[in-house]
């Protein structure tokens, strides 16, 4: 296969975390279609095997698997070492866990795990792989954020706060590394049809029109990489970020975003 501009900028390997399902799996397919070899990481070995087999049947790219819990620093460092050996030119730091509900009713252990997975793992991988990309003068990094990060959403407080971290980190690095040939971007999806969304307690009857397919937002994100610091996948989230996050006073924006969560996730118990 002739090398495309995408391959020259971001090859030979893409390292994708949380590649066993959902948005990470969609990235794996999209990048294999672009001819990149894949280093796929996930905590779920069976899911990784399934994704690897499907892609292997459709594309002639090399696929390496890494099974590990990326909320653990030793596993993240081990993944970074594998990625450096393979000269990964693209990092998709995507693995994530969502927990919704009143902050004080959620388990502290689970909140700390989300913090480590979303923030520490993204920080370590961006630092280790970003250094090698800067030395080569090319590469790309996408950190997964979320629409919830745009509004510091009540009833998704810690999750939204961790996603605000990846948004802030990626946007700042976009500007820092622009002149070094390394493209950095945050991807803030809205409701996306994945296993995580199905487990979330979302009222599908109310939300159906807002839900998008992972393959669509992944294509849009790959188009946006190198052009903008962050990509918000949903038009209604872009509008809400402007209205509730910027134009209205914070206490009113926060009150409305809490009511919106209560509307879409009626099973969440808590003071409304």
Ligand X SMILES: NC(=O)c1ccc[n+]([C@@H]2O[C@H](COP(=O)([O-])OP(=O)(O)OC[C@H]3O[C@@H](n4cnc5c(N)ncnc54)[C@H](OP(=O)(O)O)[C@@H]3O)[C@@H](O)[C@H]2O)c1
Q: Which is nearer to ligand X, 96 or 140 (CB)?
A: 96
Q: Which is nearer to ligand X, 43 or 161 (CB)?
A: 43
Give the C-alpha separation, 53 to 114, whole Å.
29
Whether 87 contacts 11, CB under 8 Å:
no
Give the C-alpha separation, 187 to 145, whole Å.
5
- Least CB distance to ligand X at residue 244 (A): 17
- Least CB distance to ligand X at residue 144 (A): 4
Q: Is 159 a catalytic residue?
A: yes
CA dihedral 36, 95, 56, 66 (to 10 degrees): 90
* Cβ atoms within 10 Å of 135's Cβ, excluding its own: 10
The residue with tokens 């030979």 is: 12
- Say which of 159, 165, 231, 265 is annotated catalytic: 159
Which tokens is 31 given?
Answer: 């990048």
Q: Which is nearer to ligand X, 77 or 195 (CB)?
A: 195
- Least CB distance to ligand X at residue 22 (A): 2
Q: Chain-centre distance of CA 78, in angstroms?
A: 20
76-106: burial string, b at 16+ Cβ within 10 Å, e else = beebbebbeebebbbbbbbbbbbbbbeeeeb
Q: Which is nearer to ligand X, 7 or 200 (CB)?
A: 200
Q: Which is nearer to ligand X, 140 or 214 (CB)?
A: 214
- Least CB distance to ligand X at residue 191 (A): 5
Give the C-alpha separation, 216 to 211, whole Å.
11
Task: Give the gyration radius of the chain's Cα atoms.
Answer: 18
- Least CB distance to ligand X at residue 1 (A): 28
242-268: burial string, b at 16+ Cβ within 10 Å, e else = eebbeeeeeeebbeebbebbeebbeeb
Q: Which is nearer to ligand X, 178 or 213 (CB)?
A: 213
- Least CB distance to ligand X at residue 87 (A): 22
- Return residues touching ligand X (CB under 6 A): 18, 20-24, 42-44, 47, 69-71, 94-98, 117, 144, 146-147, 189, 191-192, 194-197
Active-site residue numbers? 159
């Amino acid at each position: 296969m002739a090398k495309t501009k995408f391959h020259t900028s971001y090859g030979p390997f893409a390292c994708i975390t949380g590649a066993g399902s959902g948005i990470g799996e969609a990235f794996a397919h999209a990048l294999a279609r672009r001819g990149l070899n894949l280093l796929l990481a996930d905590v779920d070995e069976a899911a990784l095997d399934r994704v690897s087999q499907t892609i292997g049947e459709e594309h002639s790219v090399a696929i390496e698997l890494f099974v590990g819990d990326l909320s653990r620093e030793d596993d993240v460092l081990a993944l970074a070492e594998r990625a450096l050996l393979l000269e990964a030119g693209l990092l998709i730091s995507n693995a994530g866990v969502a927990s919704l509900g009143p902050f004080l009713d959620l388990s502290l252990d689970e909140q700390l795990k989300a913090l480590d997975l979303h923030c520490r793992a993204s920080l370590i991988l961006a630092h280790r792989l970003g250094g090698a990309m800067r030395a080569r003068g090319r590469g790309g990094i996408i950190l997964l954020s979320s629409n919830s990060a745009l509004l510091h959403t009540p009833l998704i407080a810690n999750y939204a706060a961790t996603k605000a971290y990846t948004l802030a980190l990626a946007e700042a690095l976009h500007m820092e590394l622009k002149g070094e040939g390394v493209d950095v971007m945050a991807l803030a999806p809205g409701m996306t049809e994945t296993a995580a969304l199905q487990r979330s307690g979302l009222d599908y009857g109310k939300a159906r029109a807002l839900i998008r397919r992972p393959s669509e937002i992944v294509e849009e994100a790959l188009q946006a990489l190198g052009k903008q610091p962050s990509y918000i996948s949903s038009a209604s989230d872009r509008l809400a970020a402007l209205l509730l996050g910027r134009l209205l006073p914070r206490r009113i924006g926060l009150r409305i975003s809490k009511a919106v969560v209560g509307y879409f996730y009626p099973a969440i118990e808590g003071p409304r």
